Structures are given as structure tokens and as C-alpha cells.
Amino acid sequence: MSRKPRPFTDDPMAPDGGSARGDLEAEFGAHGQVVMPGDAEAPILTAPVRAALHQWLFEMNAEAELKAVGLKPRTRALLQGPPGCGKTTLAHHISARLGVPMVVVASNAMISKWLGETGQTIGKLFRAARRNQYGIGLFFDEFDAMAKARESLGQQGADNERSNITIALLQEMDRYDGLMFAATNVTKNIDPAIWRRFQLQIEIGFPGPAERFAIVRLYLAPFIADDATVTALAEVMGGASPALIREACEMIKRSLVLGPRMNLSTDLPAIMERFVASAAPAEGVPEPLIWGEQRRRCLQLLAEAPWPPVRP
Ligand SMILES: Nc1ncnc2c1ncn2[C@@H]1O[C@H](COP(=O)(O)OP(=O)(O)O)[C@@H](O)[C@H]1O
Ligand SMILES: [Mg+2]
């Protein structure tokens, strides 16, 4: 009995029908995690990145017009930047805007598991992706692990195997015209031939003051803080990733809700001191402002900000 695919999204841009989560998991579960369009959130990004993405989304929906002048929409993007700045969130968001589910492949895990299989499993993954009639987004996380430059590898064992994986990847990318993302925080190792096959290279770095303001406001919701307070929080979180800012906001909300019952101060500087004491920023990147030498000034700024926020 053939099962009719059922729609997976209300997105007006989605194609008719689509694949059910269960079917996709049966097909792609061995390769990675399947994420459906419905769960996607839009990341907050800088204006130039937003503009570049806007154009890209537009052209993916204008295939016929591009074809008339001998062009195809770009479908492969390399996302670079530090952890927690929105690479996965962005790929998921774009897949969702196009109405397709995304398969998240952890490149690192794949390699150790596949050692000795000479990229055959890469072939299987891409074949499954090509076969899926409604389309999927392929997302390779930690891509540097898989796409390491061949000249940086030796000739022996595991390195040789990795080189085979790189070659398999090149061949598959040439035969796949679906949506594909790769994310990495170290680009210098990526094989130049693989690098060239990405039509977009998007840098998703740490947010600036305006983005931090928007991120703080987003993650403080449903609490509504004074603009001056949001500005102060955005300032003391200078140099932090959106993921860390989100954690800080969640700590604030948790403290506002539970603090009184636990006899903990719900003053903003006190909450943020507890946060700094209990959260470590990512390794290998400069410390955000409130973690560093300027902590006292940061706490002072927070002490001067209007508090508490309104809870509608
Ligand atoms: N630019 C952003 N705007 C809003 N939230 C973000 C952003 N970047 C990250 N986040 C939050 O941090 C979490 C982790 O981000 P993620 O997309 O996994 O980062 P990356 O893939 O770059 O390591 C997300 O689930 C989201 O809640
Ligand atoms: Mg990620």
C-alpha cells in the first residue's frame, strides 16, 4: 500500500503536500536529525546579512525568471562564524521559508562512524536527498571535520579515509541541486574545491549593539523592560553570542518568577552577578564585557536602569 504524503506546514510558500516526519525519519534518521519547518525561529542578524538573505530567498522563488536568462537560483551556502550566533537557526529558518524539512548531519560523528566505508554513506545520504520528491534542506554541521583540505592530510589510515570522503563529497555536490548548507567556525581548513562549490559564503559573527538590543528584547518576552534597561543589558553583554544573551535573559526571567520564593534578590545587578558566576562564555573567543575587567562598571549601569520589567 502506498502512503500518500501529507502536508507538514501551513506555510503559504510550501509546495503542495510534503513528507511526513515519520517517513523522513525512516529515510534520513540514520544520517542525522530531521527538523520540520513548523518549529523554525527567525534569527536576528545584521542588516547586510539580512539583505543578502532576502535576495537569496527571493531568487529561490524566481526559478523561471532566472532560467529565461540562463541562470539558476543559488542553492548552496556556507555559514561561518563562532558557536551560538545562529548558523543552525538560520539554515532551519531558510528551509522553513522554502517549506522543506531539514536534515542536520553532524559531520564529526559521521566520520568516525564511517571510517572504512570510503564515503559510501555520503553517497547514500545524497541519493536519499535527491530521491525525496518534495525536497529537503541538507545541513552539514561542523563541516570542517568533513571537508578538510586534502593537502593538509597525510597518506595514512584515517587521513587517507578522510581524503576519500572529501572526494565523495565533491562528486555528490556536483550532482545535487537541492538546498544545502554547511556550517563551520574554522574555514581555513576547508578544501578549496569544496569551498568553490558553495555559491554563498555568509559570515554570521557576534551581534552588534542594535542586534543585541533586539535579542535581549526578544528573549525577555513576555516581560517588557524599559528601553533604557534593554540598552544597558545589550551593552553589558557586548561580545556575547546570541545564545549566551538568551541564557542571560532566561536567567533573569527565572529569577523574577522564582527569586522571591527562594529569598534571592531580584535586583538586576544581583541576577546578573549570579548569571556570570554560573555561565561560562564559549572557549577561544574574547570574554563578553560583564565577564571581564569592566564588571563593576557594568553592574553600575544595570543598577541605574529602570527595574523590574512589566509582566503583562
Ligand atoms: N542570531 C540569533 N538571533 C536570535 N537567537 C539566536 C541567534 N543565534 C543564536 N540564537 C539562539 O541560540 C541558540 C543556538 O544557536 P545556533 O543557531 O545553534 O548557533 P550556531 O549554530 O551558530 O552554533 C538558538 O537556538 C537560538 O535560541
Ligand atoms: Mg549549530
Sketch out the chain's domains with CATH numbers: 21-203 (3.40.50.300), 209-304 (no CATH)
Cell numbers found for residue 247 = 541564557
Model confidence at 6, pLDDT cuts 50, 70, 90, reads: very low
The reply to whether omega before 222 is within 30° of 0 (cis) is yes
For cell 517549506, the residue is 99
Ligand 1 atom 25 nearest Cα: 89
Pairing state between β 102-106 and 179-184: unpaired
What is the mean predicted confidence (pLDDT) over 125-143?
91
Mean pLDDT throughout 100-117? 78
CA 91 to centroid of chain Cα atoms: 6
Query: Does 82 have pLDDT greater than 90?
Result: yes
Q: How many CA atoms lie within 13 A of 213 on its CB side?
A: 10
β-pair type (102-106, 137-141): parallel
Identify the band that residue 15 occupies on the pLDDT scale cut at 50, 70 and 90: very low
| Nearest Cα to Cα of residue 131 among 26, 57, 40, 16 | 26
Q: Is the CB of 242 under 6 A from ligand 1?
A: yes
Range with the lowest mean pLDDT among 197-201, 231-235, 282-286? 282-286
Of 109-123, 125-139, 266-280, which one has max mean pLDDT? 266-280
**Averaged pLDDT score across all residues of the chain:** 88
Q: Write out pLDDT tens, residues 147-178.
A: 876 655 555 566 677 778 888 999 999 999 89
Q: Which three cell numbers stand for residue 263?
A: 529569598
Q: Long-range CB contacts (< 8 A, 24+ apart) of 245-248?
A: 245/207, 245/212, 245/215, 245/216, 245/219, 246/215, 246/219, 247/275, 247/279, 248/272, 248/275, 248/279
Q: Is the CB of residue 199 less than 8 Å from the CB of residue 228?
A: no
Which amino acid residue places its CA nearest to atom 13 of ligand 1?
Answer: 243
The per-residue pLDDT for 54 is: 95
Does residue 117 have a pLDDT over 80? no
Give the containing element (helix H, strand E) for 79.
Answer: strand 76-80
Ligand nearest to C-alpha 107: 2
Coil, strand or helix at 203: strand
- Residue 145: per-residue pLDDT: 82
Residue 118 pLDDT class (50, 70, 90 cuts): low
Query: Is 83 a pocket residue for ligand 1 (Cβ < 6 Å)?
Result: yes
Q: What is the pLDDT of residues 275-296, one digit of tens each?
A: 999 998 877 788 999 999 999 9
What's residue 298's pLDDT? 98
Pick from 78, 79, 86, 80: which is nearest to 44 by CA? 86
Residues with CB under 5 A from ligand 2 (ion): 87-88
Quickly state the pLDDT bin for 213 (edges 50, 70, 90).
Answer: very high
**Percent helix, strand and coil across the chain, each to the nearest 5:** 50, 10, 40
Q: Which of 256, 259, 245 is nearest to 217 (CA)?
A: 245
103-112, 131-140, 161-170, 237-246: range with highest mean pLDDT: 237-246
Q: Which of 201, 190, 165 is nearest to 79 (CA)?
A: 201
Q: How many angstroms does the Cα of residue 53 sit away from the middle of ligand 1? A: 16
* pLDDT given at position 116: 64
Q: Among 46, 204, 246, say which to mutate for ligand 1: greatest number of ligand atoms within 8 Å of CB.
A: 246
pLDDT of residue 25 exceeding 80: yes
